[in-house]
Amino acid sequence: MATAERLVRTRGYSAISYADLAEAVGIRKASIHHHFPGKADLGVALTAEYMNRFDALLDRIDEGEPDALARIGAYASIYEASVRDGMLCLCGMLVTEIQVLPEEVRAGVRRFFAQQLAWLTRVLSEGAARGELRMVGKPETAAERILSALEGATLVAWGMSDPGVVARAATDMIATLKN
């Protein structure tokens, strides 16, 4: 699964095959087909596992960061680390191919983005209620702006081979929320 995820995050869903995965792992294609009869099955499993890991990261951020701005900063650092590791967010990469993905994989991508927006909306709402940040407009819109900025920054950073793009975008975005 880790190898399949890395291949998708660096090449894209359409650009990998079971032959690529089998070669990278050192097994036969038949072994992959045994666990994932079709590529859509693999895509569904990848998005589900990624969401679970991301959910655990969000829980750790909630437990470890004292205020909303620190939580958003920690959230942004996930995207920075991804680009430093030479990868895009799995669902960020998948969304670039949304029109050609099997419907069940598309659904996983949509669930991932809904998960991110729900978490960000909650953090922003709680932070605004506690006076930790300045909210302009609705928390839902601010959450969309943050997620869009980070996903977009990873694409630009990847294209420019400059992971610093994400850090600069995050710093600028967080500055707009400070009281």
| CATH at 125 | 1.10.357.10
Count up the domains in the chain and report the number.
1
- C-alpha distance from residue 77 to each of 41, 67, 171 (Å): 30, 16, 10
In a domain, 10, yes or no: no
Range of the domain at 54: 39-175
Residue length, the chain? 179
Given a cut of 90, whether residue 87 has pLDDT beyond it is: yes
In a domain, 5, yes or no: no
Q: How confident is the model at residue 179 (pLDDT cuts 50, 70, 90)?
A: confident
In a domain, 16, yes or no: no
- The answer to whether the predicted template modeling score (pTM) of the entire model surpasses 0.85 is yes
In a domain, 80, yes or no: yes
Q: How confident is the model at residue 116 (pLDDT cuts 50, 70, 90)?
A: very high
The two structure tokens encoding residue 18 = 């079971």
In a domain, 32, yes or no: no
Q: What is the C-alpha separation between 102 and 176, in angstroms, rounded?
A: 38
Q: What is the C-alpha separation between 88 and 105, in angstroms, rounded?
A: 17
In a domain, 17, yes or no: no
In a domain, 14, yes or no: no
How does DSSP classify residue 14? T
In a domain, 50, yes or no: yes
> Is the sign of the CA dihedral 106, 110, 115, 119 positive or negative?
positive
| Phi then psi dihedrals of residue 114, to 5 deg | -65, -40
